[in-house]
Each structure stands twice: as C-alpha cells, then as structure tokens.
C-alpha cells in the first residue's frame, strides 16, 4: 500500500505546474473559459485529476496561472525602449496583440484585479510614469488612465474579433456595411458619425489604438517634455 502511494506521489510530482499551465492555455485558446475543466485538462495531459490538484487548487487558480503566464511572457519580451513613452507604447501594443490572440486573457484580467497578472502590468507602466517625471501625487491617476484604456480597448477589440468569427463575418464586408449605415444617418442628429463614416472602411485597429495611447501620454507628459514615437 505504501509502495503504491509513493508511486502516485512520484507521478503527481512529475507533472509540473508549468506543463499544466501550458496545457490550460491551449485549452482556453481552443475552447474558451467554459471549456477549461479539470476533466478536459486531465484528458489533454493523459493523467488523473488528482495529479493536477497536486499543483492547482481550483479552476480560479488555474485561470489566474494561465493568464499570468501569458502576461509575464508579453511583459518580459517587451524591450525597454530609449524613452519611457516608447516603452509604454511597446507594452501597450504587446498587450493589445496578445489579448487579440488569446481573447480569454482580457476577461481573466478583470477577474483577478489584485493578483500577479495585473501587478506585472501595473509595475511596468508605473516605472515608466515615474521615469517621465510625473509628480508622485499624480502617478496613480496616470497609470490608472493608461491601464483602463489599454485593457478596455484590447478586450473590446478581442470581443469584436470573436463575434466576427462566430458569425462568419468578413471584416471588410462588415466595416463597409457599418460605414454605409453611418453615412445614411440623419445629418442633423448625427453630424459627427456621418463625417467619419468613410474612415470606418479602411481603419487600422492597431494604429487607432496607439493613437489613443499617444493622446493619453500627451496629457500625462511634463510641459518640458515632447512626446516622441
């Protein structure tokens, strides 16, 4: 009996937390949060649920670990640029792209506001805000504004992409339909929407996203500094 228990323990220890997390990421990418179950994960790893529980307490812990792994890779792969502004832009675009690639990350981040994935982002952006010379009493608001924009827009972009894929929509056809609909709005009630209707057809989501980052940085930056791309 003792020999069997020892064998089970060795098997549980041989299944690393890293392997479990990577398998969870693959499962989340293919099936979403609803598809992430210990049963599905056990089948993917060819093991029993007990071996997984040896490393992971529950589904919430598993989702947080998967989200943290993706965010950590993104943050660590972002090269610190020659200016704080450029580093912020690089981090922002890295997160925008990774949330587009892994849509579940956006919702996972909002469900773990005090845990490591968010703290990694907060720390990297916060260091750049300090480097910009933003007064200490304004740093929290500056970081908060950037994070709200980065995560909010990235999550919405990923949700739009998922919706289009689910409905089998072609992006160009969809944008053309929106542009046409806006151009036909009442000019007195929707003058602005009509004026930008033509821009909808060929706009670049990533370019628009970075333009928003630059607007925020201009508001944050010291009057003595000039924003550089």
52-88 pLDDT per residue, tens: 888 888 988 999 999 999 999 999 988 777 899 999 9
Q: Which pLDDT score is estimated for 80?
A: 78
Q: pLDDT band at residue 14, thresholds of 50, 70 and 90?
A: low
The answer to whether 37 and 59 have CB atoms below 8 angstroms apart is yes
**C-alpha to C-alpha distance for 44 and 158, rounded to whole angstroms:** 26
- Residues in the chain, how many? 229
Give buried/exposed letters for 129-166 (b at 16+ CB in 10 A, else e).
beebebeeeeeeebbeebbebbbebbbebbebbeeeee
1-56 architecture in CATH?
Orthogonal Bundle (1.10)
148-182 confidence digits (pLDDT tens): 999 999 999 998 887 777 778 787 888 888 899 99
The answer to whether 220 and 132 have CB atoms below 8 angstroms apart is yes
Q: Which pLDDT score is estimated for 15?
A: 83
- The mean pLDDT value for 186-191 works out to 94
Highest mean pLDDT among 54-63, 127-136, 215-224: 127-136
The domain spans of the chain are 1-56, 79-220
**Residue 15 is encoded by which pair of tokens?**
């299944």
Q: Which pLDDT score is estimated for 183?
A: 93
> Is 2 a residue whose pLDDT tops 60?
no
| Cα dihedral across residues 200, 206, 209, 214: positive or negative | negative
> Is 145 a residue whose pLDDT tops 90?
yes
**C-alpha to C-alpha distance for 62 and 53, rounded to whole angstroms:** 10
> Is 96 a residue whose pLDDT tops 90?
yes
From residue 27, how far is each of 37, 39, 52, 84, 166 by CA, in Å? 9, 11, 15, 36, 18
Q: Which pLDDT score is estimated for 7?
A: 42
| Cα dihedral across residues 219, 220, 222, 226: positive or negative | negative
> Is 36 a residue whose pLDDT tops 70?
yes
Q: Which pLDDT score is estimated for 12?
A: 45
Report the predicted TM-score, pTM, of the whole model to 2 decimal places: 0.83
Q: pLDDT band at residue 4, thresholds of 50, 70 and 90?
A: very low
CB-count burial class (<10 Å; 0-12, 13-18, 19+) for 167: exposed
| Cα dihedral across residues 204, 207, 210, 215: positive or negative | negative
Radius of gyration of the chain from its Cα atoms, rounded to whole angstroms: 22
State the residue for tokens 């812990």.
61
Say yes or no: domain 79-220 is CATH 1.10.3720.10. Answer: no
> Is 3 a residue whose pLDDT tops 50?
no
Q: Which pLDDT score is estimated for 95?
A: 97
């Amino acid at each position: 009996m003792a020999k069997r228990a020892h064998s089970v323990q060795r098997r549980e220890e041989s299944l690393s937390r890293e392997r479990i997390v990577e398998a969870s990421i693959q499962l989340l990418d293919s099936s979403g949060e609803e598809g992430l179950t210990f049963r599905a994960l056990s089948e993917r790893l060819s093991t029993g649920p007990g071996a997984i529980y040896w490393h992971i307490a529950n589904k919430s812990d598993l989702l947080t670990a998967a989200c943290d792994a993706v965010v950590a890779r993104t943050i660590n792969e972002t090269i610190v640029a020659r200016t704080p502004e450029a580093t912020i832009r690089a981090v922002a675009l890295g997160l925008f792209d990774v949330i587009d690639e892994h849509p579940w990350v956006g919702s996972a981040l909002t469900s773990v506001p005090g845990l490591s994935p968010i703290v990694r982002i907060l720390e990297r952006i916060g260091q750049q805000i300090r480097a910009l010379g933003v007064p200490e009493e304004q740093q929290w608001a500056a970081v908060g504004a950037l994070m709200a924009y980065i995560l909010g827009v990235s999550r919405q972009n990923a949700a739009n992409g998922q919706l289009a894929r689910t409905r089998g929509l072609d992006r160009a056809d969809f944008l053309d339909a929106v542009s046409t609909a806006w151009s036909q709005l009442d000019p007195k009630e929707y003058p602005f929407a009509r004026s930008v209707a033509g821009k909808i057809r060929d706009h670049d989501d990533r370019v628009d996203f970075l333009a928003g980052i630059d607007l925020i940085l201009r508001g944050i930056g010291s009057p003595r500094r000039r924003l550089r791309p």
